[in-house]
């Protein structure tokens, strides 16, 4: 079955075009947009890890290695589309227009981190696995019923395909021809569980067959194939033909979260032959005349300044309020939560003593 779903790519590890039909479709603006956003979110990601290690940020889920998958897909969106991220897709939401200060606030436990900018349809990050898939289908179905051409993209990892929500989402979207793109980032592991223990299927893309929708596998570290194939999937969605399942094969360079130690379950040599997606893009830029030292330096300086300013603003906010765990869920807080809240603070006072 794996041979029925070969991995599509446009550039190879050396940054050389392997599909010459895209040579005229790739222009300077696209290259600059991809590079700028990939540098921006990587700088954001590394800064977040440093902040967490310094005790200035809470537990954090890094995405280094998945920049091409997140930026390439997010740049394919139109302004009024919907984005349904997991806890590892803040790179995609930042590319789509999420506020960077609020992205940092999310990882510091403040409720503001779940609030998108005005006019941006960005769902709060889904920490429970796969719950966002039916939500994305519902939002896209609503757009279809309203007669718009807006669509939704929903991100999820390989572990999500073991959840019922995955199958319910794909089935509903298929039956009603919902304008949604199911974007899987297959980074090799569901926390510590390798994909070969996660499922018996040779690919995730083949799961599309059961729901009679297009399914493709792409090189998730090739930003160009991600971009163009996601655009193609959106064209299918907007035309009324329904959903597409995309499996972007990528690699999680670091830990599952800053509370995880991947050396306990991942062989040291595993992933050593995978070329960093940003390095691949840089090689392409050098090979085809898009590399400009001054422009590259300006990009790094601009993103660093933006991130430093965002961190400064984030740290001016008061510490998160633990009561937010109990508030804002129900219009009227039920008795059992009131009792839990009382017990929690009673226990907290005992600890402080």
* pLDDT tens track for 275-290: 999 999 999 999 999 9
Q: Which SS3 state, helix, strand or coil, does residue 104 take?
A: helix
* CA atoms within 13 A of residue 266's CA, in its CB half-sphere: 24
Across the chain, mean pLDDT equals 95
Res 350 pLDDT > 60: no
Q: Which SS3 state, helix, strand or coil, does residue 18 take?
A: coil
CATH 3.40.50.970: does it fit domain 2-320? yes
Between residues 352 and 46, the one the model is more confident about: 46
Residue ranges per domain, the chain? Answer: 2-320, 321-353
Burial of 231 (0-12, 13-18, 19+ CB in 10 A): middle
Q: State how far the Cα of 322 lies from the Cα of 299, in Å rounded to an integer.
A: 38
Q: State how far the Cα of 306 lies from the Cα of 200, in Å rounded to an integer.
A: 44
Confidence of residue 352 (pLDDT cuts 50, 70, 90): very low
Res 165 pLDDT > 50: yes
The lowest-confidence range among 48-62, 72-86, 309-323 is: 309-323
Does an H or E element contain 122, and which?
Answer: strand 121-122
DSSP type of residue 75: T
**pTM of this prediction?**
0.94
Res 347 pLDDT > 90: no
Res 329 pLDDT > 70: yes
Whether the CB-CB separation of 201 and 43 falls below 8 Å is answered with no
Q: Which of 9, 102, 256, 283 is catalytic?
A: 256
Q: What is the pLDDT of residues 103-141, one digit of tens each?
A: 999 999 998 999 999 999 999 999 999 999 999 999 999
CB neighbour list of residue 56: distance below 8 Å, 6 or more residues apart: 315
Q: State how far the Cα of 161 lies from the Cα of 184, in Å rounded to an integer.
A: 9
Whether the CB-CB separation of 156 and 184 falls below 8 Å is answered with yes
Q: Which of 265, 300, 328, 347 is catalytic?
A: 265
Please report, rounded to a whole number, the percentage of residues in the chain having pLDDT higher than 90. Answer: 87
Q: What is the pLDDT of residues 185-231, one digit of tens each?
A: 999 999 999 999 999 999 999 999 999 999 999 999 999 999 999 99
256 catalytically annotated: yes
Res 3 pLDDT > 60: yes
Confidence of residue 321 (pLDDT cuts 50, 70, 90): confident
Q: What is the pLDDT of residues 19-38, one digit of tens each?
A: 999 999 999 999 999 999 99
Instruction: Give the position of tokens 């991100």.
Output: 155
Nearest to 173 by CA among 204, 155, 151: 151
The reported pLDDT for the residue numbered 268 is 85
The reported pLDDT for the residue numbered 325 is 76
Q: What is the pLDDT of residues 53-73, one digit of tens each?
A: 999 999 999 999 999 999 999
265 catalytically annotated: yes
Q: Which of 40, 42, 110, 252 is catalytic?
A: 252
Res 351 pLDDT > 70: no
Q: State how far the Cα of 98 lies from the Cα of 121, in Å rounded to an integer.
A: 10
Q: State how far the Cα of 4 lies from the Cα of 101, in Å rounded to an integer.
A: 44
Res 348 pLDDT > 90: no
Burial of 103 (0-12, 13-18, 19+ CB in 10 A): buried
Can you state the angle between helices 67-74 and 28-53, rounded to 10 degrees?
130
Q: State how far the Cα of 153 lies from the Cα of 241, in Å rounded to an integer.
A: 15
Confidence of residue 6 (pLDDT cuts 50, 70, 90): very high
Can you state the angle between helices 28-53 and 293-314, rounded to 10 degrees?
40
Please report, rounded to a whole number, the percentage of residues in the chain having pLDDT higher than 70. Answer: 98
Whether the CB-CB separation of 49 and 60 falls below 8 Å is answered with yes
Q: State how far the Cα of 110 lies from the Cα of 126, in Å rounded to an integer.
A: 15
Q: State how far the Cα of 63 lies from the Cα of 255, in Å rounded to an integer.
A: 9
């Amino acid at each position: 079955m794996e041979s029925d779903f070969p991995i599509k790519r446009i550039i190879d590890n050396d940054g050389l075009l392997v599909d010459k039909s895209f040579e005229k479709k790739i222009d300077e603006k696209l290259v600059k947009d991809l590079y700028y956003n990939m540098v921006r979110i990587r700088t954001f990601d590394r800064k977040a890890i440093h902040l967490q290690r310094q005790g200035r940020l809470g537990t954090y889920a890094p995405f280094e290695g998945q920049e091409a998958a997140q930026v390439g897909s997010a740049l394919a969106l139109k302004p009024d589309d919907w984005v349904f991220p997991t806890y590892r897709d803040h790179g995609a939401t930042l590319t789509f227009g999420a506020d960077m200060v609020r992205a940092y606030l999310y990882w510091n436990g403040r409720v503001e981190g779940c609030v998108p900018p005005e006019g941006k349809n960005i769902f709060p990050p889904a920490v429970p696995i796969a719950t966002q898939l039916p939500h994305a289908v519902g939002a896209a179905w609503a757009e279809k019923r309203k007669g718009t051409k807006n669509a939704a993209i929903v991100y999820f990892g390989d572990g999500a395909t073991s959840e019922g929500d995955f199958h319910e989402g794909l089935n509903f979207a298929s039956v009603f021809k919902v304008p949604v793109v199911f974007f899987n980032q297959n980074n090799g592991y569901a926390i510590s569980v390798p994909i070969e223990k996660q499922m018996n299927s040779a690919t995730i893309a083949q799961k599309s067959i059961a729901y009679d929708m297009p399914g493709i596998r792409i090189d998730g570290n090739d930003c160009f194939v991600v971009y163009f194939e996601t655009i193609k999937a959106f064209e299918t969605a907007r035309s009324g033909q329904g959903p597409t399942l995309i499996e972007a094969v990528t690699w999680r360079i670091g830990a599952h979260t800053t509370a995880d130690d991947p050396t306990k379950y991942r062989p040291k040599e595993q992933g050593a032959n995978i070329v960093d997606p940003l390095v691949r893009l840089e090689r392409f830029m050098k090979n085809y005349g898009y590399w400009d030292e001054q422009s590259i330096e300006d990009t790094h300086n601009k993103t660093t300044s933006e991130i430093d300013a965002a961190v400064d603003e984030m740290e001016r906010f008061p510490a998160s309020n633990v009561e937010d765990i109990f508030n804002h869920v129900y219009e009227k807080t039920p008795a059992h939560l009131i009792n839990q809240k009382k017990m929690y603070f009673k226990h907290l006072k005992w600890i402080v003593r």
